[in-house]
Amino acid sequence: MNLPHHWTNYLGKAALTAAALTAFATFGATPSRADHNTDCQRRISKADHRLHEAIEHHGYRSSQANSARHNLAEAREHCYTRYHEWWNEDDHQWHTGRDWRDEDHENWRRQERREEERREERREDHP
């Protein structure tokens, strides 16, 4: 096939552009493990922080804490279902088993109990 020089130059550039776009679409657009790890870690960390805040401001058994606890469980479930791992904000490590506790942050409940016991003791001391 005998094409003019400017046509072969144009076809060469078009083929190169098509190859570059195909490579980008195939390899460049796929999210990496680091991307989903960052997204999951951020999502779970935010939900964990909101739970801590709800417990601190409203109490361990408050509706706000229960809602935040539910949101944290959903964030963990999303990451585990999608990527088969979840971030533990308290341990600062990834877990590959579905081994989180739905009744999370029990240390707050123990602290709340101790404070309630102290209040009871003060009431008994000062009738």
What does the alpha-carbon distance between residue 121 and residue 115 come to, in Å, rounded to a whole number? 10
Distances from the Cα of 79 to the Cα of 12, 17, 82, 94, 120, angstroms: 44, 36, 5, 11, 43
Closest CA to 113 of 75, 74, 33, 59: 59
Closest CA to 83 of 27, 28, 33: 33
* Global pTM exceeds 0.85: no
Residue found by looking up tokens 């404070």 in the block? 115
Residue type, 13: K
| Mean per-residue pLDDT pooled into runs of 10, the chain (127 residues) | 60 70 61 72 95 91 93 94 91 90 69 77 75
Residue found by looking up tokens 């400017």 in the block? 6
Q: What is the pLDDT of residue 29?
A: 47
- What does DSSP assign to residue 46? H
101 SS3 class: coil
